[in-house]
Chain A
Amino acid sequence: MPGSPQFTRRSFLAATGVAALGTALGGCGSSGTAPAAAVAPVSQADIDKAMATPTELTFWTWVPDIDQEVALFQRKYPAIKVTVVNAGRGTPAYTKLRTALQAGTGAPDVSQIEFQYIPTFTITDSLLDLRPYGAEALRDKFIDWTWGQVSGQGGEVWAIPQDTGPLGLLYRQDIFDRHGLKPPATWDEFADAARKLHAADPQVFLTNLAGNQAAAWHGLMWQTGAKPYTVSGASDISIKVNDEASKKLAKFWGGLAQEGVIGTEADFTDGWYAALNNGKYATWITAAWGPVFLAGAAKSTAGLWRAAPLPQWNAAKPASGNWGGSTTAVVKTTRNPIAAAIFAQFLNSDPESAKLFATKQFFFPATKALVADPGFVGDTPAFFGGQQVNKVFADVGSTVDPTFGWPPFLDQVVTDWTETVGKSLTAKTDAVAALDQWQSRITTFAQGQGFTVR
């Protein structure tokens, strides 16, 4: 019904909710209570005033012990009181945030958001553009691709990067030694090693590509140079999850799965944890947060693991992708945009705070300064036999393409991936054909949601 007056989703729901209850709050306006975000910068005087005015901010985050970083902020701005709420992580947390936004009440001022979810929340106009609050001045502090991830198509800065997960390869030195393997430099070598290893020991697989882990698949797509989702304008989207690069990827992994030389079981499950401990898999293709996680999840294998960059499609032009990591975003409905924006920026760009994330939470940093910090990259954890694991991933991080983008309806894309491509890996069916199904399901969904699909 183009041309007819349209409610925004939020005011519509709010208004109908009010009507249903029969209270007298009806017709609460078109775009809610959010102050209009002008592109014109907020003056330093206004910022100083806001930061000296007693203000309360609510911050939803799943990061353990983040109080320590928040305390640094409050030491600098004692007028601002930040209430940290652990509202959970993953899909439940986003569901909660979205529901609160729909209701028009109960949403936080500031929220932890993973990179891949930013477009899902900007399409509903739920995040605040941080440019007026001086965010652009921070651009040079952050690793290029992380800034690319938080930037909108109109140059908006939707969030400030906090931690990252460039992809690398963790491998079992002992299993590699036993079978005379080296960390493969290319995916061809990787495939050969997979066949060789499984033939030599049918109980062992070179790796596991989880059929439920769309995020890892996207990281691998990223590495191949795929550009699956491009949003332009308000309603145009191009979806190309089955382009040549992705087909190459599907053919490679689908082939290995069909040969039965890799595992495809769901990750982060009992069986998978046990497999990591029992040496069923000789490698784990994982992100920069993987080493710390593994050290906790597979204690019985301490000292046996090493890290290496991902195998390459083109050894002369090394590339990687990202899996995980997160940002701090300001929710547009906040009544205190200045304080919220300054908080989001301070938390991640203040050198002391950023460093604390790396040393207390063991986050893999998003700032250029920290990935070059000898104290950080020089760390030699015993779990990895004293190898400088952070150095490996810091180097990998510089090969991540900054232009990869995410779809504005990530949950649906992820579910559709699991039910097409992920399923084909597990069921050992044609993964390239599954890629086409994935493409057509996303396309149908996007059209149903009113997008023009190119």
Chain B
Amino acid sequence: MSTLSSTKDRRGSAGLLFATPFLVLFVVLFLAPLAYAAYLSLFQTKLVGGTKFVGLDNYARAVADPLLLQGVLRVATFFVVQVPVMLLLALLFALALDSGLMRLARVVRLGIFVPYAVPSVVATLMWGYLYGPDYGPFAQLSRAVDLPVPRFLSEGWMLGSLANVVTWEFVGYNMIILYAALRTIPGDLYEAAAMDGAGAWRIAWSIKLPALRPALLLTLMFSVIGSFQLFNEPKLLQAIAPDVIDSAYTANLYAYSLTFIGQQPNYAAAVSFLLGLVIVIVSYVVLLTANRRRTP
């Protein structure tokens, strides 16, 4: 008994040994700056008057900050609208590719995935051009056939336009994760179902979808984080639509503006931590809902 537990201990420490390099770097490069940011968030630095300790004042201010609330609500809307569309598209594409019913599947799969390899700087540059209200191709096309010109960069459309860029960038990524998961379903399951006379749709619904649940959950979690941290795309589109995307358009953009424009890095740190808390809560709720639905 005692020898067994001591080998177990020894093996346990071997596990820790393997994890140590990663964990050390994680502590030094992730947790230390994070702790430092947490520490900074307890101070206030003014251009006139210097730095003083303010305790949790920054957090109290952030909780009541309408700009932060507005930013969080906007990314929440973005999440609710964009993520289902993106994941549904990714799912449909993955199922279509996996069905074996289409030609050129390889080409299509790679083509849809390619945008993931494009930096968001370049992606936004390209879409920014396509959205152009005067010389963008959609605008020119509408004008040529006397249709109203789509105002991609107007206030009402902007969130949708951003959602489109993000969807464009990440559908392929999510599709590949789902597609890869589909490929691991044992073929004999399909054969059995086909013998029972199940069609392609029926197989997709009752075999493939349940098998995809963990993969879908994974993509969902990354989408929560991605949506709530939305930054690059609005920051870059700001240059061509400064009247619509203000410095607090998304919560993360607000934290950035506070740091680099408003010179209030302490307050920005508090804002970032609150945003992180929101993300943790949303992720938790999403996980909980997904798991509860599985149990009954």
Give the interface of A toward B (CB within 8 A): 1-2, 4, 6-9, 12, 16-17, 20-21, 91, 95, 98, 123-124, 211-212, 234-235, 265-266, 269-271, 274-275, 280, 408-409, 411-412, 415, 418-419, 422-423, 426-427, 445, 448-451
Contact = CB atoms under 8 A, between A and B. Distances in A.
B18 interface: no
29 contacts: A4-B52, A6-B52, A7-B50, A8-B50, A16-B40, A17-B36, A91-B260, A98-B263, A123-B47, A123-B48, A211-B242, A235-B49, A265-B134, A266-B242, A266-B243, A269-B128, A269-B240, A270-B128, A271-B134, A271-B240, A274-B135, A412-B262, A418-B243, A419-B247, A423-B246, A445-B262, A448-B264, A450-B49, A451-B47
Nearest to B35: A20
Contacts of B52: 1, 4, 6
A449 B47 contact: yes
Contacts of A275: 134
B241 A266 contact: yes
A407 B214 CA distance: 55
Contacts of B51: 6-7, 9, 12
Interface of B: 32, 35-36, 39-40, 45-52, 128-129, 132-136, 239-243, 246-247, 257, 260-264
Nearest to B260: A95
Contacts of A409: 47, 263
A451 to B, nearest CB: 5
Nearest to B259: A95
B243 A415 contact: no
Contacts of B39: 16, 20
B261 A411 contact: yes
A422 B243 contact: yes
Contacts, number: 101
Nearest to B50: A6
A227 B184 CA distance: 71
Given A1-B52, A269-B240, A423-B243, A9 B260 contact: no
B132 A271 contact: yes
Contacts of B242: 211-212, 266, 418, 422-423
B274 to A, nearest CB: 19
Given A6-B51, A98-B263, A408-B47, 18 more contacts: A21-B32, A124-B47, A265-B134, A269-B240, A270-B132, A270-B240, A271-B135, A275-B134, A280-B134, A411-B261, A415-B247, A415-B261, A419-B246, A445-B262, A449-B46, A450-B48, A450-B49, A451-B47
A46 B28 CA distance: 46
Contacts of B128: 269-270
A9 B45 contact: yes
Contacts of B46: 448-450
A411 B260 contact: yes
B192 to A, nearest CB: 56
Contact of A6 (B40, B49, B129, B239): B49
Contacts of B36: 16-17, 20
Contact of A9 (B50, B239, B257): B50
A409 B247 CA distance: 16
A271 B262 CA distance: 30
Contacts of B260: 91, 95, 411
A98 B257 CA distance: 14
B140 to A, nearest CB: 11
A446 to B, nearest CB: 9
A408 B263 CA distance: 12
Contact of A426 (B129, B243, B247, B257): B243
A280 B135 CA distance: 11
B135 A427 contact: no
A343 to B, nearest CB: 29
B261 A266 contact: no
Contacts of B129: 270
A430 to B, nearest CB: 15
A270 B131 CA distance: 11
A353 to B, nearest CB: 33
Contacts of A269: 128, 239-240
B134, B239, B241, B247 interface centre (most CB from chain A within 10 Å): B134
Contacts of A423: 242-243, 246
Contacts of B132: 270-271
Nearest to B45: A9
B47 A271 contact: no
Contacts of A271: 132-136, 240
A221 B163 CA distance: 38
Contacts of B49: 2, 6, 235, 450
Nearest to B43: A12
B47 A450 contact: yes
Contacts of A415: 247, 257, 261
B243 A427 contact: yes
A91 B52 CA distance: 27
B48 A412 contact: no
Contact of B243 (A16, A17, A211): A211
A426 B129 CA distance: 19
B244 to A, nearest CB: 9
B48 A234 contact: yes
Contacts of B264: 448
Contacts of B134: 265, 271, 274-275, 280
B263 A449 contact: yes
A415 B245 CA distance: 11
Contacts of A1: 52
